[in-house]
Amino acid sequence: MDSEKSGAARRVGFVSHEQYYWHQSIVAVGGDIEPGAELETPTPRRRLLNLLTKSGLLSLTHPLQPLMLEREDLLRAHGADYIDAFERLSAAAGGELGDFAGFGPGSFDIAVLSAGGAAEAVRAVTAGEVDTAYALVRPPGHHAERDRARGYCLLANLPIAILKARADQGLGRVAVVDWDVHHGNGTQSIFYDDPDVLAVSLHQERLYPHDSGMITETGTGDAVGTTVNLPLPAGSGLGAYEYAFAKVVEPALRAFRPDLIAVACGFDAGGLDPNGRMALPAKAFGTLTGRLLQLADELCDGRLVLAQEGGYSALHVPFCGAQTLSALLGVSDLVTDPFAEMENSPEQPLAVHQKAAVDAARQAACDSGAVTEGRS
């Protein structure tokens, strides 16, 4: 694979499935709110898919189909008792196996199909069938722990995909960069003692889960230094994220030298999202994708996979996703962002308190050995 390949020359895989939009995410908030007032609905992702189709972006991709996963694929990331309970409740009326993670009947099969979408994206890139891939999957996965569902996430999509590619294809070291507005606690917990997976999470500080994602969480045993957290202050814009990339994310990936980079691609750090308090414009996701493309070219022959996580604004998510896929494809001007004025908002430049937060995260990464260049 040519590491100098231009974006337009990349073969970009794309996987989605109609069943993803049939999953019922049920969160009982109680009180006097009318039942059915849910944040995690199919609408933002379906509108994203429709925008990609209407704009012609989807026609520029290579279509992929979700892998049909077996029980053993799930058990690499989850406990047998958890899988059994999930399957049993799904076959009946649905239920809940963790906080903010209720589901309706049939959701087990859909969640397996969602993990299969991420697995196919990783498989196709690892096999060299495509250069990069985007998995527009649902339900999301980065909060799902080994024995507990959390935060709308029922199965750990990317960990399942990575562990399957490791078993079936001999995939080596993987770096997971999670820019969802919430901490990637599930991915972190599954790989916390695994020295061959670097888990980097950029998230709004103490949002969800409020007690995880601290800079002191760096891995355990031989894996110390393979967990990196960047808790950012609420209100952070592109300046804070680019500074975090320059000072922590990119140095950590260069020190780790992965064979593949995977992105837990949430759009809930977008400035219009109801489930976060960050200020990113849609274009920011294209910018961050471009930076990771350059890093993937430098480190791992361009191998980059993005798997959909959160994103709850039916207005904003489609444009965030279009900017992301446009960056993967190396094209522009196929989609006009009606909210582009956000790019000039006063939240975008790096603020002093945001710089201090990133600097603290960098120092923790240096202390753990995750960052080695310019160590202080």
Residue 332: exposed, middle, or buried by beta-carbon count in 10 A (0-12, 13-18, 19+)?
exposed
Q: How many domains does the chain contain in total?
A: 1
pTM comes to 0.96
> How much is the pLDDT for 33?
72
Tally of helices (H runs) and strands (E runs) in the chain? 11, 11
Residue 2 lies in a domain: no
> How much is the pLDDT for 228?
98
**From 17, 142, 143, 183, the catalytic residue:** 143
Point out the residues of the chain with pLDDT beneath 70: 1-8, 28-31, 35-36, 374-376
Rounded distance, CA 376 to CA 360, Å?
11
Residue 3 lies in a domain: no
Beta bridge partners of 25: 103
Residue 353 lies in a domain: yes
Residue 375 lies in a domain: no
Rounded distance, CA 262 to CA 296, Å?
10
Identify the CATH number of the domain in which residue 170 sits: 3.40.800.20
> How much is the pLDDT for 83?
98
Tell me: cis bond preceding 209? Omega within 30 of 0 counts. yes
Q: What is the mean pLDDT of the chain?
A: 95
> How much is the pLDDT for 3?
36
> How much is the pLDDT for 373?
78
> How much is the pLDDT for 39?
86
Q: Parallel, antiparallel, or unpaired for β 260-265 and 304-308? A: parallel
Residue 348 lies in a domain: yes
> How much is the pLDDT for 30?
64
> How much is the pLDDT for 31?
65
Domain, as residue range, for 101: 12-32+40-368
> How much is the pLDDT for 4?
44
> How much is the pLDDT for 1?
34
Encode pLDDT of 85-138 as tens digits: 999 999 999 999 999 999 999 999 999 999 999 999 999 999 999 999 999 999
Does 143 participate in catalysis according to the annotation?
yes
Residue 165 lies in a domain: yes
Residue 373 lies in a domain: no
Residue 318 lies in a domain: yes
Q: Please answer whether residues 292 and 285 qualify as being in contact, where contact means their C-beta atoms are separated by less than 8 angstroms.
A: no
